[in-house]
Amino acid sequence: MANYKKISTRILVLGAVVIVAVGFWASRSSNTERNAVADDNVALADFRSTDIEAIQRGEYVMRTADCAACHTQGKNNMAGGYPLATPFGTLVSSNITPDRDTGIGQMTERDFFNAVRNGQGSKGFLYPAMPYTAYANLTDQDMHDLWAYMSTVTPVNHAIDENSAMAFPYNIRLAMLGWNMLFFDNKAFDGDADGADRGRYLVDAGGHCSVCHSPRNALGAEKSDHYLQGGQLGSWYAPDITSNPHVGIGDVSVEDLAEYLGTGTNGQATAAGPMAEAVEHSLQYMSEDDLMAIASYLKSVPASKTKAHTALDASLPSMKRGALAYEVNCAACHGVEGEGMGELAPALAGNHALQGEPNNAIRALMVGARAAATHTKLTGAGMPSFAWKMNDQQIKDVLDYVRNSWGNAAQPVTPEQIERIRVGMQARDKMIDGY
């Protein structure tokens, strides 16, 4: 019954979306006129750029756009096959090597522009898991360079069925036309991408930061009025990266932020999970100037409304239990005053991400976490799992303690949040609870 209801709701939603969309067929969302700057004659499989500088610039664009994160699975560069779990079903990334049969070898440069900037691919509309909503901002020059780079990628024959594991009606590509109508802001970047607005350009175009760091609505579109204020991403939470001084990056210096982005850690913020991938595949390849530009721009993003909390009273019995558990289990690496151990274990005192949404901290205690390993910081910090020796209450106690000590202040964690992650991550139960 519930299933029937869900399906009929989906049909209604789809119906509404299609009807609205058809009415505005020629609307702005599907217009690809600005891609006329691209060549529409030579297919990628027949093209091999000889412009070394363009290829190198294109490789840099590929890094900043982090294409490899989704399109490289295993050792075949850009051959696709990476499964992305979405609330609407599992989507598999495409083969974007120049292979004629299974890749994008038959695309012209114009087709390529249409796909990357407008979400219109050779099989129909792309799903917005491919961040064309952000790539729409990529400049013509960056797109030409990216095309030059793509021509140098080795063709790999690897057939991908992208959307067969998507739930109805989301397995119908045409539905994305309606989605685009409602949510796709189809326009070029409105600033100086290589000058004054470089930071914003990197964040909003290639970097597609908001794809994870902005919350999404029920149809999977970013809430633009919550830009970069944090969003759930599978089992991880992409934290608030607005200039909010409590839970965002308002209190972090541009230099520290750039160090974090380029190396994976600044001794306090430490990239793990999908952000570690972003650092390893993309950010660590960026120039110092670009990283500083990103950091400066992020610090200018209007702060979220999240207010500072009042710290829990250290004399509470639960805080005392937390303090003892911290001393026994955590202090060896994270420091007796939460000062951390440089790049090997993040400082917890004054750690802003720790004081916001507790998802990642619970997750780290439950199943451990692995920080990014980069060319400059070779050893990614490793956080072991504590699921085997702490029950939900003990995890709550120690988290409430670290989130409310040494000047930190945050909302108490709820047992439901902990239970949800223990179950969701299939973490083991505490080995013995009473003997």
Partner 1 sequence: MNRREALKSLSALIATGAVAASARASEMQGYPSNLAVADEFLPRPAMDGGKMHVLTDETALKTVTAVFDRLIPADDLGPSASEAGCIVFLDSQLADRFGQGAQLYREGPKLPGADELTQAPQFIATPRERYETGLKALEAYAQQTDGAAFADLQPDRQDEILQGMEEGSISLADDINTKAFFELMLQNVREGYFSDPIYGGNKDMVGWKLIGFPGARYDYRLYADRVGQKLDLESISLIPLD
Which residues in this chain contact partner 1 in the complex, by CB under 8 A?
Answer: 321, 324-325, 327-329, 331-332, 336, 367-370, 373, 380, 382-385, 387-389, 393-394, 427-428, 430-435
- The answer to whether 281 is a known ligand-binding residue is no
Residue 162 vs 392, nearer CB to partner 1: 392
Tell me the residue ranges of DSSP E strands in 260-344: none
The radius of gyration of the chain from alpha carbons, rounded to an integer in Å, stands at 23
Residue 200 vs 430, nearer CB to partner 1: 430
Handedness of CA 17, 19, 25, 27 (dihedral sign): negative
Residue 301 vs 427, nearer CB to partner 1: 427
- The answer to whether 226 is a known ligand-binding residue is no
Q: What is the H or E stretch that residue 14 is in?
A: helix 2-23
Residue 168 vs 388, nearer CB to partner 1: 388
Structural contact between residues 199 and 254, judged by C-beta atoms closer than 8 angstroms = no
- The answer to whether 333 is a known ligand-binding residue is yes
- Find the shortest distance in angstroms from Cβ 135 to partner 1: 27
- Find the shortest distance in angstroms from Cβ 18 to partner 1: 41
- The answer to whether 334 is a known ligand-binding residue is yes
Burial class from Cβ neighbours inside 10 Å (0-12, 13-18, 19+) for residue 426 reads: exposed
Residue partners of 204: CB distance under 8 A and separation at least 6: 134, 137, 189, 210
- Find the shortest distance in angstroms from Cβ 262 to partner 1: 19
Rounded-to-integer distance, Cα 208 and Cα 408, Å: 30
Rounded-to-integer distance, Cα 355 and Cα 245, Å: 11
Rounded-to-integer distance, Cα 39 and Cα 168, Å: 36
- Find the shortest distance in angstroms from Cβ 425 to partner 1: 9
Instruction: Kindly report the number of other CB atoms within 10 A of residue 53's CB atom.
Output: 9
Residue 349 vs 409, nearer CB to partner 1: 349
- Find the shortest distance in angstroms from Cβ 412 to partner 1: 17
Residue partners of 248: CB distance under 8 A and separation at least 6: 239, 240, 241, 242, 303, 304, 306, 352, 356
Residue 175 vs 283, nearer CB to partner 1: 283
DSSP, collapsed to helix, strand or coil, labels residue 130 as coil
Residue 362 vs 369, nearer CB to partner 1: 369
- The answer to whether 375 is a known ligand-binding residue is no
- Find the shortest distance in angstroms from Cβ 381 to partner 1: 10
Question: Token pair for residue 377?
Answer: 């910081």
Rounded-to-integer distance, Cα 332 and Cα 241, Å: 29
Burial class from Cβ neighbours inside 10 Å (0-12, 13-18, 19+) for residue 161 reads: exposed
- Find the shortest distance in angstroms from Cβ 410 to partner 1: 23
- Would you list which residues are annotated within the binding site? 67, 70-71, 209, 212-213, 330, 333-334
- Would you list which residues are annotated within the binding site for heme c? 67, 70-71, 209, 212-213, 330, 333-334
